[in-house]
Structure 1
Amino acid sequence: MTVLDWLLDSAPAIRWQVLRDLTDAPADAVAAERARVAAEGWGARLLALRDPDGQWAGGACFPASGWDGEGGQPWTPTLPTLALLREFGLDPASEPARETVALVRENCRWEYDGAPFFAGEVEACINGRVVALGAYFGEDVEAVVQRLLADQLDDGGWNCWTEHGSTRSSFDSTINVIEGLLAHEQAGHGTRQTTAARRRGEEYLLERSLFRRKNTGGPAQDGYLQLSFPPQWHHDVLRGLEHFRVAGGSPDERLAEAVAVVRGKQQPDGRWLLEDTYAGAVHFPLEDGDGRPSRWNTLRALRVLRWYDGQVG
């Protein structure tokens, strides 16, 4: 079995992306496979776990009943679950998606202050994800975008601790925000101001080769060199490279070191492993565990390298 065969021997959530990004399959074949996400495999399982009011785990992000008692953040509430459905490619025009998003809009409130889900919260990493979800599912998140513009720090990035006085950006907050701003732009809602803010955020990461401290040159965190899925709110080099791939254009030369990290993790059989899974309750496992071959990381790494090598080569 080739790596491509192995990737295709999976749920629709992966298969349609393999067809689109690695095989250049006809658009109708890709669309047909994507349409199965809501009815088969992981997408259908997540939708079946939805509460009657449209939420998951009874809350937006931090429901009191969701903590696992061992310090891990729960990955089962509404925000991370909707983000996972977006990763799966659930068609936002499908009936399950429209029904779910309408219920979330009506019923889901942030634990922080009771504000509606698509009005956002106070943390930049959360608000970046809300903007990405709003852009994807067709919800109005303009007020959240404006808050993110106001929250951008002098060094070009964002930090979830800004409300507590932080003046230095973080990789984690910044990747969430620039992903959201890019999705907002690609949905047709971008402005010169949002594009400029997104590019300043990208520059923050590029100046640090996606993983290095600017002052010392050493890795900012060991976890930034590990490839995890789902990414949740955490940054790593593959997530950063995926952002620049989606943004398109010629790769910046400062991505070369991060690309070398990802390339160096390819196993002799052509696959990539799952590494450093984030602790916390999940709806169900998507992979066989850390240290085992990962379809998600293999798909993501292959399409990043295809983009990078196709442009640089």
Structure 2
Amino acid sequence: MSWQTQLRADPLPWLLDAAAPGVRYLALRDLCDLAPDDPQLGVAQRAAHRAGPISAILDQMNEAGFWAEPGPGYLPKYRSTVWSVIMLAQLGASLAEDARIERACAYVLDHALAARGQFSASGPPSGTADCLQGNLCWALLELGCQDPRLETAFDWLARSVTGEGIAPMEDREAPVRYYAGKCGPTFACGSNNKQSCAWGAVKVMLALGRWPADRRTPAMARAIEHGVDFLLGTDPALAAYPNGYSDKPSGNWWKFGFPVFYVTDLLQNVEALVALGYGRDPRLAHALHVIREKQDANGRWLLEYDYAGKTWADFGPKKQPNPWVTLRALRALKAAA
């Protein structure tokens, strides 16, 4: 059965509209099954890098490879280096198409990666968090970065999920330990009242799903199993994960958005699990149903969560059909089918 039978109408002509070159490129790449060397795909990729949000973001980059101000790049939100790099990856940017992207990747690794593999918001390893680690590990791979330092970052990422070889945060003499933010295994986070954070878990699973399967270490395999057990330990459509300081899940779980930073939605949870091969797992059926039900009569999804005016580019009016969100939904449904 074709995955398009899940749709109420065909949104592909809308996504392929040349007025949105970035969406056109990703729709051709991810939905139309073109061969990687198809000339049409190459033309679309080059167009996406020379017009639209990729170009707008890169035009704001400092020659050295950072945005807004030098350093680890977490602040100011959401125009500094961390957010710009994450957004470029979500837009389909590639360092093979623009040398500035390679400089940006190198800058992040030089200034935000601690010696033992923790991506840090402040510089030292204590500034790490699952959402930051997962987002940057995924983004750098997605951009085409092959720096060997990523292996160290992924090793910390995997072992921090299961706790292998990592001391409690109270053991300040240990060479590798947890910290006040990233405070324990199973995605424990200080910002979530030291409980497991599903937002962080989704980012970590996205990154592990992006790492080449034939290069996964045993620690990565164990982390994936651990993370999947956590994310599918409850119905993702209900998001009954630990809430930290609240008595109910964040309403943002059900607001699909673009770009996606540390605030996470149900759709990204499904994206992560589908990429790891769980698209046909019956525990994901309800979540996939919720995604399908959110499309309109034209087979399009609305922009319900955004960062309008806060990033280097905007992506359409809120509560209106949105090509970027529609692209996200279609990729997830296609992969699950």
Fold match (TM-score > 0.5): yes
Q: CA deviation at 1:252?
A: 1.0
CA contact (8 A) 1:185 1:195 kept: no
Which residue does the alignment assign to 2:135?
129
Which residue does the alignment assign to 1:71?
none
C-alpha distance in structure 2 between counterparts of 1:261 and 1:249, whole Å: 16
Letter in 1 for 2:12: L
Q: CA deviation at 1:268?
A: 1.5
C-alpha distance in structure 1 between counterparts of 2:331 and 2:120, whole Å: 37
* Unaligned runs of at least 5 residues, structure 1: 67-73
Which residue does the alignment assign to 2:297?
268
CA RMSD of aligned residues (A): 3.1
1:102 aligns with 2:102: no
Q: 75-84 or 3-12, which moves further after superposition?
A: 3-12
Q: CA deviation at 1:273?
A: 0.4
Change over 3 Å in CA distance of 1:184–1:23 after alignment to 2:
closer
- SS in structure 2 at match of 1:36: helix
Letter in 1 for 2:324: W
C-alpha distance in structure 2 between counterparts of 1:120 and 1:229, whole Å: 29
Identity of matched residues, %: 25
C-alpha distance in structure 1 between counterparts of 2:231 and 2:112, whole Å: 33
CA contact (8 A) 1:157 1:200 kept: yes
C-alpha distance in structure 2 between counterparts of 1:234 and 1:97, whole Å: 24
Change over 3 Å in CA distance of 1:183–1:12 after alignment to 2:
same
Which residue does the alignment assign to 1:76?
79
Change over 3 Å in CA distance of 1:13–1:157 after alignment to 2:
farther
* Structure 1 residues 158-237: aligned runs within 5 Å: 158-161=187-190, 166=194, 168-186=195-213, 189-210=215-236, 211-213=238-240, 220-237=249-266
CA contact (8 A) 2:21 2:47 kept: yes
State the Cα deviation string for residues 256-278 of structure 1 (Å, max 9, x = none): 11111111111112211011325
C-alpha distance in structure 2 between counterparts of 1:247 and 1:306, whole Å: 14
C-alpha distance in structure 2 between counterparts of 1:165 and 1:92, whole Å: 38
C-alpha distance in structure 2 between counterparts of 1:278 and 1:100, whole Å: 22
Letter in 2 for 1:144: A
Q: CA deviation at 1:50?
A: 0.5
Q: 85-94 or 44-53, which moves further after superposition?
A: 85-94
C-alpha distance in structure 2 between counterparts of 1:107 and 1:213, whole Å: 36
Is the helix fraction higher in 1 or 2? 1
TM-score under structure 2 length normalisation: 0.76
State the Cα deviation string for residues 41-79 of structure 1 (Å, max 9, x = none): 21111111102221111144443xx3xxxxxxx211111
Match of 2:89 among 81, 86, 90: 86
Letter in 1 for 2:150: V
CA contact (8 A) 2:74 2:122 kept: no
Q: CA deviation at 1:108?
A: 6.0
- SS in structure 2 at match of 1:277: coil
C-alpha distance in structure 2 between counterparts of 1:149 and 1:22, whole Å: 30
Q: Which has the higher contact order (CA 8 A, sep 6+)?
A: 2
- Number of residue pairs the alignment of both structures matches: 292
Which residue does the alignment assign to 2:276?
247
